[in-house]
Structure 1
Amino acid sequence: MKQRIYITRKISNEIVEWLKQFVDVKMWMEEETPVPRAILQKEIREVDGLYCLLTEQVDRELINQANNLKVISNMAVGYNNIDIEYAAKKGIAVTNTPGVLTETTADLTFSLLMATARRLGEAEQFLREGKWTTWSPMLLTGQDIYGTTLGIIGLGRIGEAVARRAKGFGMKIIYYNRNRKPNVERELNLTYYPFEELLKTADYICILTPFTDETKNLIDEREFKLMKPNTILINTSRGGIVNEEALYKALSKNQIWGAGLDVFDEEPISADHPLLSLKNVVVTPHIGSASIQTRMRMAKLAAENLISVLQKKQCSFIVN
């Protein structure tokens, strides 16, 4: 008898048919709506594999519902939605999908940087509302990018990819990472700065570090006070790394110049959230990896990870 898996969101038929060669597949058939918790609690009881997204909280309570679970395959790089330590204690492998979304997320990161610097959101709204009546010397003026200093916090794959893009804009690139990377420093002409010095120096700060207990609220009231008034903060990592209340205060008091955000503490963010009322904020709904090609590669890799673990083959993307 084939092993059984449950998929928590509708994915492409091509990948489902590939999976059916190896396992019995049951799938939540809504593409835009997460599977209700009660249904997931029921479905996880007898399956051997769970194929999930960041929208599913695979916590201790849910894991305890499972009788046969051997693998949780997360279609994402991050896995803070899963209690990986408890899964390991239960003998359940947790896998993720790194690498395949590096360049796409770096594209979005740099897009947000440019859009925030040049006030593209404000400019488009200004035009669509019929407010453009004449050319004016200082109308919707923003910040230069060329020749400025970019500070990268978290020099993983995506951080390196963002640095490569910044080189093309003639930016000076500084970085802070838990461990220095001399080879990357030489390759990309990067300069390592201590955390506080980076905050004081950079014109643009990109948050690209994983979300952990150590990085929760890494950027808080104290950190904003160290930044320059022209600083633009970009976060395409995880919302909890930046204290949103402190960010709102820093932006509304012009302590920093602007922010570009793809991730939030609670997702989806409420339409009446204070941050969304600010003109100096550019926001996107967690679309860092949202190109057709990349999402398909992520979905396929998540499927391959799941099957590799179930077939007891080597899997390079087990995180616990």
Structure 2
Amino acid sequence: MWADVVCAWAYIGKRRLAQALEGWDGEPVEVVWRPFRIDPMAPTQAEPMEEVLRDPVVDAALQGCAPGMTPAENRVRVSEIAAAEGLGSRWGAAWRASSHDAHRLIALAYQEGGSALQDAVLEGVLRAHFVEQRDISLKETLQEIAAAAGFSEGGRLLGEGGAEEYVRETLLRGKAIGVTTSPTLVIGGEALAGAHAPEVIAQFVARAVAEPRRELPTEVERLRLAQALLDKGDPLGCLTLLGKLMAEHPEERSVRLLAARAHYHSAQLSRARSGLETLVAEIPDDAYARLMLGRVLERQGKGEEAAPHLRIAAAMNPEYGKAG
């Protein structure tokens, strides 16, 4: 489940997912929570929600959450649904808080104690934010939540920077596979976006589990995710996921070519040129590497140097000549 702990629908979705799995009699199902950010610009130091909601720009942005309703009407609707799900009548976040460290704590709980401990910590974070109206961006708040959930080491691990890299990379993985809303339930290659009714979730789980996806080697999956990020216009995210592959498989041509493309699209032209020149020297008849090298040189203002590479690429593959 990809979700943000500052998303009210994530808390509602958590309850509905649990209800959907209560009568599950198929293969054992493990629920693992992955990070998503609905408000990546939330400040490190939390702001009172009352002040935030008075901002007309924020109010207008919230219109997209519930077309046809004012943000105030939508908040009332969500509160009523939350109460019906047993989440309490006193409902509503009091703070606009960054959820980054909360996601780190939730990830650490899974790493240290599995899905049961993660669920307990997640429940504590959600309850603190929406019911107790506490500031979950504070380390002290997260330490208290961890301790109450039986995760005594949580505060220390958080303070040591635990799961920092994991959360940042997993956010990119979610983007790569097409997660765009909180919550989104993912099983294999199937996704169900939104906090649906328990019976809808149960049907989705049954259908997805019945059609298991073939697992890819870790390196292949990482390469495909990096490619997906580049295709989505995020070359820096692509390079982040490629980092481990570049360190572990520095001679792998597909990794090096994708890195050169990402350098090109992120305007790191010197790095792109260096990588592509090496690739072309190794395999002179690689038409695509020739094409990319020519384009890099053009962007560097070196038209005369670019021309031979572009001509050779077009001779080997006429389609590259049309790309112009």
Please classify the TM superposition score into its range, dividing by the shorter chain length: under 0.3
| Higher share in helix | 2
More strand by share: 1
- By relative contact order (CA 8 Å, sep 6+), the higher-ranking structure is 1
If you compute each CA radius of gyration, which structure gives the higher value, 1 or 2? 2
